[in-house]
């Protein structure tokens, strides 16, 4: 199905919000409306990258690829929904390294008995995943050890994570220039070498309009998330870590599946694992920085014990998949099943 058909939900979501309809209906309609908008933003970014050098195109893709998550997170921060924001961060990491990667491997494995990929690039991504998991562990270990939360510690970790992100970009572009190709660390290349289908002006116009619409709907979404959770008997954590994260991962999911079906698993890994790395190394630090600008209570990186355990477990599963340069559909099933079990566990956690 063409995702652009779902654009009909943009006016529907706005109308439901204006009419003060059920928060569940508002949230559902808004989530459906965001799917084609995120897709349009992704395609417009890809088209724009075709008019610049590979290095600049990679930077453009890396910078704008996280724009939907950032916009939604910023609106949630502005409303003081710190726990929802943190849940969406850990949820995005889990959704990409377990659900997106697992489902893509499963679909691709049904067509190709064995899926192969470059183990050196995958090993680099695996190392970065481990770094992200350690960064999430440190504030929790500190909190347990000294029985207090240190906001400056979260800020310092955010600064270091952002520096690692910049270092990863530099390494990626340097390696790309040396090899004449685009093996990525934190930049997922989705456009390959295909010529641009849109003009530069059209791409900018689509990007601007879709970003503006996404900003308006992000406010509607964040307004509805807590009332929706209360109405359905869900916790704000579950709404952020599962529902909000899955909405933001739609573009990655569809692209990862397309490449896996073509037996291009390196591109699938760049998308799924790269999206998780960008969330941990770019989105999370930027949201921490932004929380200070809003003048409210700063956002810390102190996640719940189960969130941390889930991210560490998800990282372990991803490392298992990336271990030997090849995989198959049963490993994809394993990753998806782990995600579903974790999702049910988050559903059972009391508010």
Ordered by start, the domain boundaries in the chain are 3-348
pTM exceeds 0.95, yes or no: no
What is the predicted pLDDT for the residue at 188?
42
| Cβ–Cβ < 8 Å for 181, 168 | no
What is the predicted pLDDT for the residue at 176?
61
Percent over 70 (pLDDT), the chain: 87
Which range has the worst mean pLDDT, 42-56, 118-132, 160-174?
A: 42-56
Residue-wise pLDDT tens digits, 313-331: 998 888 888 888 888 899 9
Q: Indicate if the pLDDT at residue 184 is higher than 60.
A: no
- The string of DSSP letters for 75-142 reads HHHHTT-HHHHHHHHHHHHHIIIIIIHHHHHHHHHHHSSSEE--HHHHHHHHHHHHHHHHHHHHHHHH
Short-list 112, 108, 117, 267, CA closest to 193: 267
| Cα→Cα distances 251→3, 101, 114, 271, 275, Å | 10, 13, 25, 10, 10
What is the predicted pLDDT for the residue at 137?
84
Short-list 8, 15, 54, 16, CA closest to 33: 8
Residue-wise pLDDT tens digits, 215-259: 999 889 888 988 998 898 888 888 889 988 888 787 788 888 888
Considering only residues 348 and 195, tell me which one the structure prediction assigns the higher pLDDT.
Answer: 348
Residue with tokens 């601007």: 208
DSSP one-letter code for 183: -
Measured CA to CA, the distance from residue 250 to residue 12 in angstroms comes to 20
Mean pLDDT of 66-74: 85
Which CATH number among 1.20.1420.30, 1.10.3720.10, 3.40.630.30, 3.90.1150.10 corresponds to the domain 3-348?
1.20.1420.30
Measured CA to CA, the distance from residue 152 to residue 161 in angstroms comes to 14
Considering only residues 197 and 159, tell me which one the structure prediction assigns the higher pLDDT.
Answer: 159
């Amino acid at each position: 199905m063409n995702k652009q058909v779902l654009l009909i939900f943009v006016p529907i979501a706005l109308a439901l919000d204006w009419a003060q309809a059920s928060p569940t209906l508002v949230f559902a309609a808004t989530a459906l409306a965001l799917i084609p908008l995120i897709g349009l933003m992704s395609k417009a970014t890809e088209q724009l990258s075709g008019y610049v050098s590979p290095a600049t195109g990679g930077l453009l893709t890396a910078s704008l690829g996280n724009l939907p998550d950032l916009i939604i997170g910023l609106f949630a921060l502005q409303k003081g929904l710190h726990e929802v924001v943190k849940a969406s961060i850990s949820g995005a990491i889990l959704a990409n390294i377990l659900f997106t990667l697992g489902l893509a491997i499963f679909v691709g494995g049904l067509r190709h008995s064995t899926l192969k990929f470059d183990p050196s690039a995958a090993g680099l991504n695996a190392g970065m995943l481990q770094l992200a998991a350690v960064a999430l562990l440190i504030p929790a270990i500190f909190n347990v050890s000294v029985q207090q939360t240190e906001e400056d510690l979260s800020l310092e970790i955010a600064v270091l994570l952002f520096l690692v992100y910049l270092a990863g970009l530099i390494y990626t572009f340097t390696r790309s220039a040396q090899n004449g190709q685009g093996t990525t660390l934190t930049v997922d290349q989705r456009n390959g070498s295909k010529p641009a289908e849109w003009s530069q002006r059209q791409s900018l116009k689509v990007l601007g309009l879709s970003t503006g619409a996404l900003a308006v709907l992000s406010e509607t979404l964040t307004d509805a998330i807590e009332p929706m959770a209360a109405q359905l008997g869900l916790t704000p954590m579950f709404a952020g870590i599962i529902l909000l994260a899955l909405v933001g991962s739609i573009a990655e999911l569809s692209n990862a599946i397309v490449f896996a079906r073509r037996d291009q698993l390196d591109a699938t890994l760049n998308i799924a694992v790269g999206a998780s790395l960008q969330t941990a190394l770019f989105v999370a630090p930027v949201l921490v920085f932004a929380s200070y600008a809003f003048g409210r209570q700063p956002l810390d990186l102190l996640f719940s014990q189960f969130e941390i355990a889930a991210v560490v477990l998800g990282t372990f599963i991803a490392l298992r998949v990336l271990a030997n340069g090849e995989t198959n559909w049963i490993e994809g099933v394993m990753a998806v099943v782990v995600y579903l079990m974790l999702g049910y566990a988050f559903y059972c956690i009391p508010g």
